[in-house]
Amino acid sequence: MTTSCTAALSTVASLRSLLFMVRSGSQCRCPQVTGRRKLVTPWRLSPRQPAYRYEQRSSNNDVRTTEVHLMAQHQQDTLIFKVSILSIAVMQATAQSIGGILNTMAEAMPHVDSTSISSLSTVPNLGCLAGLFLSPILCKVFGERRVTIVGLLGSILAGCAPMVLGAFVPIYISRLLLGFFFGIYTPLIVVLLSRFYRGDQLARMIGYENAIGSIGSSVCALVAGFLVVMGWQAGFAIYLLSAVPLVLFTLFVRLDGEGDGAGASDDAVDQAAINDATAAAVASKPRIPAAVWGLGAFLFCFFIFQLPIAYALGNRVFESGVAGESQTTASTIASTIYSCFTIIGIPVSIFFGAIRKRIGAWTLPFALVCNVIGFAALAYGSNTVMLFAGGLFSGVAFALVVPYAYTRVAEVSPPEVVSTSTTIAMLSLNLGVFCSPLVLPKVAAALGDGSAHLTMTISTVAFLAFAAVMTVVAAVSSKRGGEVIAAG
């Protein structure tokens, strides 16, 4: 009996040492799963111990190992867990949702020029850039769960601060801080989804995330419009909605290695094994794939030419003559078109996973062709039907391009650099948003009269070029069995 117990304990000790040694696998390119090995029996596991190891081997025999934890296996399949992670996306696109109350603010602050008041809807983008830069560093120091919770809590405080602030400068600073808190946690949505989901399921979840962001933006804009009747301060109460994802995420999302220390005694293993694993991990530190930089460059260019639908649409409607001589009517029609642009993206984002599964590598070329049709209709439309059709086609394209890019970033990046890769993609996106109104109108002015028609014509030509390039890439990738902008 004593001999059997000794043998059993020895076997368990060896297996638990193996938990740390499996981390020494080298990173590889385009790995294939070649084996699945159960490491220890489930009753011996704490939530922080891995239950399975997946070995992935590339054509040059490099091996990468991935550990699957019991806790992750169980919680990722529950509805409340999915809702809790996706709820983080509700407020990520609400910086511009206060646009409807800015006129009321301008009337209440006659000493502040209208340009400064209007900047309150865009200045969060600057704070967001700073947050995106710091997010990976903060995650390494404090962990992804804590950073997400702090970001959500900070967005409530900074977002609602104008309700009690009367001066413009403090309000401006609070909007910068709001963007910063958005920036530190929004890239973690894709990081967390890529940790728990793979393949088609990951694509579906990122599609849902994009749809939820659109819904949150629309709902907040609508609520702010109703609240403004009580004063412009009341409109900023929309940021109290961040309390919903804060509560859900805090209660129902647990990440391995960021718990309260439960099961620490089960994790006590031989220190030499830990040192060996650490040394191996440092020696094989993965790099950010070239595909991530390519996706970042694509997102930057895409948003440079996409954003005229936000800032040039009103002038384009007025130029088309459908509003007569009334600038107010033109603004109303433009707002309605933009609402259609946003609303059509919700169902498209929800079914993004199914669309990508069916057409695969052709998803991006298809989206870009839709954008060519949409911007051509906006640039040359002379009636409301064509203008609304342009908004709908462009909305379909936008709802496919963004989740596609984020899905590819998560798929081509090694787990250790998913956070940094996502940050690169989001920085590129935000830089494109920031630069578009500064660059594209000047290009249009240099090439012609600088009209909204010419601006959207330039975007149409740019998207036509993108579509041609991506069609060729998709054709080549399909023959190789890959996907557009895959890991090279």
Which pLDDT belongs to residue 100? 66
pLDDT at 69 over 70: no
For the record, the structure tokens of 46 come out as 């704490």
CA-to-CA dists, residue 203 to 195, 355, 356, 367, 404, angstroms: 13, 10, 8, 16, 8
Whole-number mean pLDDT of the chain?
Answer: 77
**DSSP track, 417-435:** GHHHHHHHHHHHHHHHHHH
- High-pLDDT (> 90) share of the chain, %: 22
Instruction: Count the helix, strand and coil residues of the chain and give each as a percent rounded to the nearest 5.
Output: 75, 5, 20
Query: Which H/E stretch holds residue 34?
Result: strand 32-38
- pLDDT for 413-466, tens place per residue? 887 788 788 888 888 888 888 788 888 888 998 998 888 889 999 999 999 999
E-assigned strand segments in 45-163: 50-57, 63-69
**If DSSP codes are grouped into helix, strand and coil, which group holds residue 33?**
strand
Which pLDDT belongs to residue 16? 42
- Common-topology check for domains 76-256 and 288-488: yes
Between CA 190 and CA 85 the distance in angstroms is 10
Is 344:210 a contact under the CB 8 Å cutoff? no
- pLDDT for 83-117, tens place per residue? 888 898 888 878 777 766 777 787 888 888 877 88
pLDDT at 22 over 70: no
Q: Of 51-55, 130-134, 186-190, which gets the smallest average pLDDT? A: 51-55
Q: Residue 309: what are its φ and ψ, rounded to 5°?
A: -65, -15
CA-to-CA dists, residue 329 to 295, 324, 374, angstroms: 39, 8, 22
Q: Where are the alpha helices (DSSP H) in 22-69?
A: none
Between CA 186 and CA 147 the distance in angstroms is 10
Summarize the confidence of residues 1-6 as an average pLDDT.
44
Which pLDDT belongs to residue 47? 42
CA-to-CA dists, residue 230 to 56, 235, 240, 243, 244, angstroms: 59, 8, 16, 22, 23
Which pLDDT belongs to residue 287? 83
Report domain extents, the chain: 25-75, 76-256, 288-488
pLDDT at 261 over 60: no
Which pLDDT belongs to residue 63? 52
Beta strand 50-57 with 63-69 is antiparallel
For the record, the structure tokens of 230 come out as 């009580």
Between CA 142 and CA 258 the distance in angstroms is 9
CA-to-CA dists, residue 56 to 24, 217, 407, 421, angstroms: 13, 40, 20, 21
Please provide the CATH number assigned to the domain covering 76-256: 1.20.1250.20
- pLDDT for 143-161, tens place per residue? 889 999 999 999 999 999 9
Residue labelled with tokens 């070239």: 290
Between CA 98 and CA 238 the distance in angstroms is 9
pLDDT at 317 over 90: no
Between CA 297 and CA 277 the distance in angstroms is 35
**pLDDT band at residue 299 using 50, 70 and 90 as cut-offs:** very high
**pLDDT band at residue 485 using 50, 70 and 90 as cut-offs:** low
Architecture of domain 288-488: Up-down Bundle (1.20)
Conformational region of residue 286, where left means phi above 0, alpha means psi within -120 to 50, and beta covers everything else: beta
User: What's the predicted TM-score (pTM) here?
Assistant: 0.68
Conformational region of residue 40, where left means phi above 0, alpha means psi within -120 to 50, and beta covers everything else: beta
**pLDDT band at residue 278 using 50, 70 and 90 as cut-offs:** very low
More confident residue, 10 or 262: 10
Q: Is 237 exposed, middle or buried (0-12, 13-18, 19+ CB in 10 A)?
A: middle
Between CA 133 and CA 426 the distance in angstroms is 10
Which pLDDT belongs to residue 283? 46
